[in-house]
Structure 1
Amino acid sequence: MTDSNALDGMECVPCSGKESGIEPLSLERAQELLDHLHEDWNLCEDGLSIIREVKVKGFAKAVYLANLAAFRADQDGHHPDIQFGWGYCRIFYTTHAIGGLSENDFICARRLDLAIN
């Protein structure tokens, strides 16, 4: 991940599903965009979402990180699935309306990277 990034100038676009003409990204395009994110982001095995697991010390820091992800998501209007417990927080991005990944997932992941780091 670099400080200057192609994702930084992009905006989330509301997506109402495949009927809006937005198709899930190809695996090749998803991998290309993944290269613009923090190295802890990974493409899930099914290729339909990306995940980042952040290790923290204790439970309160995991809750804080989950809340930070939720706050960022509300600002963007694009919400991840979040799992957390003692010592970890996992953030999953996918675009449920199209059943796969969209550029919105990578834009929001990048914004979360900037908020965390």
Structure 2
Amino acid sequence: MSDLASRTCVPCTAETPTLREEEVSALAARVPGWEVVEGHHLRRRYSFRNFRDALRFANRVGGIAEEQGHHPDLSLGWGYAEIRVWTHAIDGLSENDFVLAAKVDALGAGSA
């Protein structure tokens, strides 16, 4: 398990600074498979054998999101689930986003 996955998301406010580009790059290297989109959010698509497995995964992600108080956007369909995450309070990336990404990866879901 990544050391990021063992951390806990901390509440952010509008005053929380967004991560600088070099911070984003360093953290992104610790969650391989996640794409940094326009320096604003993270995205990853997971593949599954069927809809049921994708839905089960999305529900497990939802459980983590509730525990952490940090909620991603989820899209799913037959054989896939896609996750987009950013810190809404700052409309950009914070360390919480990378913590959540690592926790999702720790679920051991389908292939990216």
Same fold (TM over 0.5): yes
Query: Could you tell me how far apart the structure 2 residues matched to 1:11 and 1:70 are?
Result: 15
Match of 1:89 in 2: 81
Q: Hey, which of these two has a bigger chunk of helix by percent?
A: 1
Match of 1:30 in 2: 24
Query: Could you tell me how far apart the structure 1 residues matched to 2:11 and 2:99 are?
Result: 13
Secondary structure of the structure 1 residue equivalent to 2:75: strand
Cα gap change, 1:26/1:71 in structure 2, threshold over 3 Å: closer, same or farther? same
- Following superposition, the deviation at residue 9 of structure 1 comes to 4.7
- In the alignment, residue 30 of structure 1 is paired with which amino acid? V
Match of 1:7 in 2: 4
The answer to whether residue 34 in structure 2 is matched with residue 41 in structure 1 is yes
TM-score, with normalisation over the residues of structure 1?
A: 0.85
- In the alignment, residue 42 of structure 1 is paired with which amino acid? E
Residues 6, 36 of structure 1: 8 Å contact kept: no
Deviations 1:60-105 (A, max 9, x none): 1111111111111011110101011111100111001001000000
Aligned residue runs from structure 1 range 56-95, under 5 A: 56-95=48-87
Task: Kindly report structure 1 stretches of 4+ aligned residues shifted beyond 3 Å.
Answer: none
Query: Could you tell me how far apart the structure 2 residues matched to 1:8 and 1:58 are?
Result: 27
Deviations 1:15-68 (A, max 9, x none): 1222xxx1111122111101111x221111x21000110011111111111111
Secondary structure of the structure 2 residue equivalent to 1:98: coil
Aligned residue runs from structure 1 range 48-59, under 5 A: 48-59=40-51
Cα gap change, 1:9/1:89 in structure 2, threshold over 3 Å: closer, same or farther? closer
Cα gap change, 1:50/1:56 in structure 2, threshold over 3 Å: closer, same or farther? same
Residues 5, 106 of structure 2: 8 Å contact kept: no
Percent identity between the aligned chains? 36
